[in-house]
Amino acid sequence: MKLIENKQQYQQLQNLIAEIKKSFFGSEHAVEMLIMALLAQGHVLIEDVPGVGKTTLARALAKALNCTFKRIQFTSDLVPSDILGVSIWDKSKESFIFREGPIFANLVLADEINRSTPKTQSALLESMNEYQVSVDNMTHPLPQPYMIIATQNPMEFYGVYPLPENELDRFMASIKIGYPEEKVESKIIAENTPSINVDYTSTVMDKTDVLQLQAEVSKVYAGKEILEYSVTIIKKTRESPHLLLGASPRAGKHLISAARALAYMEGRTYILPDDIKKLTKSILAHKLIPKQSLSGQNRNFVEQVIDEILSTTKVP
């Protein structure tokens, strides 16, 4: 076992975090989790109230990476073709041509995803799992790297639809930004700029760099004991008397992939048990369903169940 030898790539990640923080003054944990998911080739669900910087965070990441960015505002009247694109008749060519929708970008912000109907929400499923979309019996590959950052309003808000379980399971991680500390909030309020302003962030990487980092992260070693530890945690969520739906095998893959990325971000080429423990809530909590619905408290309850599972699982 050893530390990362390519110090340049490791330094790139530190520079990336620093550049995003120049425009986004919120939770540093949220920044690190977003980058972790990108390196692990996963998608992220940001569950929080409006106005805490979710869009700014996504835009700052796209600018720092010099990646294409598209924002989709989900509303009740949005239809799948508004997202995926549509085939239109080209009279001059006497054939149909495909007009790409906003989903064709490296980073896609699905803003307030739970304000649209389940039919529209499901338009993202193929892209999240297979990195392609199918329209009129034609398959169109998506640009690489590819990542969906979805924001979701709390279920207590008016006019929202719960995300289906199969879509929640495709999000590698869920994160909360939360309200900033008083000093940080004073700085935000004092800024005489538009609410979404990423002018302070400079480009420090490009698409090729991201793809190289993703390839390096996939090589991070996950020992047999780590894999068994993760499987035990996953299995216990299915056996828990408090949960109606436990974690899927895909959730287990997400946990290991995320742990690889976290290890790499900390300069290691191997996963530690602490990496699994740190990430379990962020990777699993949104995928689990309690037996009894607790108004506005489902997430807190599920996290308590995860804490109990972790405390009773032998650490290798």
Is pLDDT of 50 > 90? no
Question: Average pLDDT of the chain?
Answer: 88
Which residues, in sequence order, are CB contacts of 125 under 8 Å at separation 6+? 166, 167, 170
CATH superfamily of 219-316: Magnesium chelatase subunit I, C-Terminal domain (1.10.8.80)
Instruction: Among 3.40.50.300, 3.60.120.10, 3.30.9.100, 3.30.230.10, name the CATH number for the domain at 1-217.
Output: 3.40.50.300
Between 8 and 86, name the one with better pLDDT: 86
Tell me, what DSSP letter sits at residue 179? Answer: P
Query: Is the four-CA dihedral 158, 160, 162, 168 of positive or negative sign?
Result: negative
Q: Which stretch of 156-160, 229-233, 262-266 has the lowest confidence by average pLDDT?
A: 156-160
Q: State the pLDDT confidence band at 157, using cuts at 50, 70 and 90.
A: low
**110-121 residue pLDDT tens:** 999 988 888 888
Q: Which residue has the tokens 């530690």?
A: 272
Q: pTM (2 decimals)?
A: 0.90
For the stretch 165-175, pLDDT in tens is 899 999 999 99
d(C-alpha 124, C-alpha 136), whole Å: 16
Q: Counting Cβ atoms within 10 Å, is residue 105 exposed (0-12), middle (13-18) or buried (19+)?
A: buried
DSSP three-state, residue 218: coil
The residue ranking higher by pLDDT, 163 or 51, is: 163
CATH 3.40.50.300 intervals, the chain: 1-217
Task: Identify the pLDDT of residue 182.
Answer: 85
- Amino acid symbol at 32: E
Could you give the residue ranges of the DSSP H alpha helices within the chain?
A: 7-23, 28-39, 54-65, 80-84, 118-121, 125-130, 165-168, 182-190, 207-217, 224-239, 249-265, 273-284, 298-311
The CATH 1.10.8.80 domain(s) of the chain lie at 219-316
